[in-house]
Structure formats: C-alpha cells, structure tokens
Amino acid sequence: MNRLITGLLMIVIGACYAGNERAAMEEILAADRAFAQATAEGGVEGWISYFADDGVMISGGGEVAGGQAVRELMSPAFADSSFSLTWEPIRGEVSAANDLGYTIGRYESRRVGDAGDTTVEKGLYVTIWRKQVDGSWRVALDIGDCEEAAPSGS
C-alpha cells in the first residue's frame, strides 16, 4: 500500500512539475511576442523596455551590456523611419527552477536606402530570458545571426 501511495505521489508531483514547466515556457514565448510588439510600436524604447538592467546584446561581432549601451547601439537603426524589425519565436525552453529560459526564432529587418532600394536582412536569434523579482521575464542576453542581407525589389 505504501508503494502504491508513493508511486501515485510521484506521478502527481511529476505532473505538477511538467505543468509548471509548460506554463513557464508559454510565459517566455508570450514575453518574446510581446517584446516584438513593443518594439514594433515603440521603436528603441520598446526594445529597451524588455531588457534586464544588466542585459547584454551581441551584435556585429561586438557586445554591449546595460540598458544605456543597448539604447546607444540600437538608436541609430530605429531613428531611420524606413527601418523595421520583426521576429517570431520558433521554440523555447525553461530551467527546472522556471527562472531562466531561452527562445529561438527568426527575424527580419528592412531598410530603404537613399536610392529607394530596400535591403532585407533575415536571420536567427537566441534570447535568454531571466525571471525578475516581480515575476516578469526580461532579456538577459540577445544574439542575432544574419543568414542573408540582400537588396529587394519591394
């Protein structure tokens, strides 16, 4: 009888853990999508709003850390009214403690040049998310990898 009760408790505990892990994974996927929406609507301020205070961004072979440094790096791109950046997560994972996770997805940026030609850059990204004291998820590390950058006819 004790073995039966112990076995049932293990199943219940395992199901609760799996449910918490799935819920946390859905939270970071939702945070990633909200990050994209905030960026589309608010530009650099939307971008910065999802970074942790000590968040790091790796771009163009360099690394910047902290909100002000990330703002300085991204401000010129967002200052260009023809610039757009969109992305969508493909999948995510969370730690056993449900306080750290990552998302992987595809991004696309577009910019219209002086001659009217549109340059499109497509690539993959990895974002590492850290749960904050208030329960929100913030970007601890963001890395993008360009697959292609080419002029487009549109």
16-49 pLDDT, tens per residue?
A: 345 577 888 899 999 999 999 999 999 999 999 9
Cα dist from 71 to 74, 112, 133, whole Å:
5, 22, 23
- pLDDT at residue number 19: 57
pLDDT at 15 over 80: no
Backbone angles phi, psi at 95, to 5 degrees: -75, 165
Selected residue with higher pLDDT from 89 and 116: 89
Q: How high is the mean pLDDT of the chain?
A: 84
Selected residue with higher pLDDT from 125 and 15: 125
User: Averaged over 113-120, what is the pLDDT?
Assistant: 84
Please tell me the least confidently modeled range out of 10-19, 90-99, 121-130, 132-141: 10-19
- pLDDT at residue number 17: 46
**What tens digit of pLDDT does each residue of 60-101 get?**
778 889 988 999 989 999 899 899 999 999 999 999 889 999
Extract the tokens encoding 87.
């992305």
pLDDT at 11 over 80: no
Beta pairing partners, 91: 104
pLDDT at 12 over 50: no
Cα dist from 49 to 31, 54, 64, 152, whole Å:
11, 12, 16, 31
Name the DSSP letter for residue 80: S
